[in-house]
């Protein structure tokens, strides 16, 4: 699965659970900026 498809999947699943990026980030103990990057398909090398 490429980064863009994975990002869309994460976004769709988050929204289906009625979570904001911040909510998801808090549950995962990461930053909301990281969630945003995932959803946009931005990979970190």
Element (H, E) at 41: none
Using an 8 Å Cβ cutoff, are 21 and 39 in contact?
yes
Token pair, residue 17, equals 């659970």
In the DSSP assignment, the letter for residue 44 is -
In the DSSP assignment, the letter for residue 2 is -
- DSSP reduced 3-state for 13: helix
**CA atoms of 41 and 27, how far apart (whole Å):** 20
Read off the pTM: 0.85
Mind listing the pLDDT tens digit for each residue in 10-45? 999 999 999 999 999 999 999 999 999 999 999 664
| Sequence ranges of the domains in the chain | 3-40
């Amino acid at each position: 699965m490429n980064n863009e498809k994975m990002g869309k999947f994460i976004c769709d699943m988050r929204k289906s659970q009625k979570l904001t990026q911040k909510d998801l980030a808090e549950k995962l103990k990461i930053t909301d900026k990281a969630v945003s990057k995932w959803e946009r398909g931005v990979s970190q090398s």
